Amino acid sequence: MNESSSRSPDLEMLYFVVADRHLQYENLLWQVPALSLTAQAFLFSISMGAGNDPVARIASSLLALIVSIISIMLMASHRLAGRKDELWLERFEQNELDVGAWGAHGAAFARQQDIADLDAGYVGKLIPMRQMFKVWVVGLGCFGMAAVFMILRTLVGLRH
């Protein structure tokens, strides 16, 4: 920030605090799926083990379903908090810094990033980089559906 500006040091410090918090939420957001997949792998190894007790298979599948749901909810919580900070930072940059099209957050930043691609030819165009949050939510939802399937499969197997 321009040191010769008339902004108070407190206002500049506030900007840096919010920017740091935004970065922290972004980091937390992407830790959730990695930890969730680790838990899912362990729980599905129990639920898919043919020699395991049906109660253990159902219990591990229920836990896998719960992990899927709470992971999606935690990701959404981090995403929402990060978006709130991003919007605040965007407003600050536009109003206090008057950066115009050169903002580091929000719509101005997104417009700058839209011209960048993966530089991987046709394959790069198939990968939805801007939609990765949605992709992970759908992926974790699929794990939840697989857990429900394993519960039903185990219950049907108990009847025979």
Structural domain spans, the chain: 9-100+112-159
Nearest CA to 40 out of 76, 77, 74, 65 is that of: 65
pLDDT band at residue 4 under the 50/70/90 scheme: very low
Structure confidence at residue 5 (pLDDT): 57
Structure confidence at residue 67 (pLDDT): 97
Consecutive H or E run containing 121:
helix 121-126
Q: Give the global pTM.
A: 0.79
